[in-house]
A = this chain, B = another copy of it.
Amino acid sequence: MSVEGLRVMGIDPGLTRCGLSIVQAGRGRSVLPVVVGVAKTPVGAPLPQRLSQLSHDVSQWMDEYHPDVVAIERVFERGNVSTVMNTAHAVGVLMLAAAERGIEVYQYTPSEVKKSISGNGRADKKQMIAMVTRILALAEPPHPADAADAFALAICHCWRAPMIARQEAIAHRVAASAAKSK
C-alpha cells in the first residue's frame, strides 16, 4: 500500500523544548522534509501558562501545515520525576490539539524510532542525526540538533504507515466477514 503524499508531523514532546517537524512521504521509502523547529516555554512560568503556550504554538503548526497524522514519542518513567511529569502533561495537551482537528495520533517508543531509522534500537544521538540527515537528503544536519528527533519520529511513521494500513485493512475485512456470517 502506498502512502505517497502522506504528511506527518513528528513531535518530540517536552515543556521546556518541544521538537516539531513536518515531512511528506514520497515514492517508496523516500521522505521529504518540509519544516523543523522547537517550541519553547519559559522554565519559571506557572505550569498551566506553559501548557497554554505550548498548545497555542502546536495548534498554529497544525493549522499552517495540515498534517494527516501526528507521530509522538511515548513518555517513560525514567530520569527526573518532575521532568517526566511535565512531559506527560505536555503530551496530553499535544494529543488534545490533534484530536480537536481530527488528526490521528500514533505513539512510538525511542527504541522503536531508533530501530526503524538506523536498524539499531540503541543508536546514539550522533548516529541518529547522521541517518536523519542522509534519509532527508539535507545539505547539513538539522538545526537545532534536538529537532532531529522530531524528524526521526515522522520518518519512522512514514515507514511504518504501509504496514499499519495493511493491518487495518485486514482487521476491517475480518470484521466485515464476521458481520456478514452472522
Contact = CB atoms under 8 A, between A and B. Distances in A.
Contacts of A100: 52
Given A47-B95, A52-B99, A88-B89, 4 more contacts: A48-B105, A77-B81, A85-B88, A93-B96
Tell me the dominant secondary structure on chain A's binding face: helix
Chain A interface size band reads 20 to 34
Indicate how many identical chains form the complex. Answer: 2
Contacts of A93: 92-93, 96
A75 interface: yes
Interface of A: 46-49, 51-52, 55, 75-77, 81, 84-85, 88-93, 95-96, 98-100, 105
Nearest to A85: B88
Nearest to A103: B48
Nearest to A55: B96
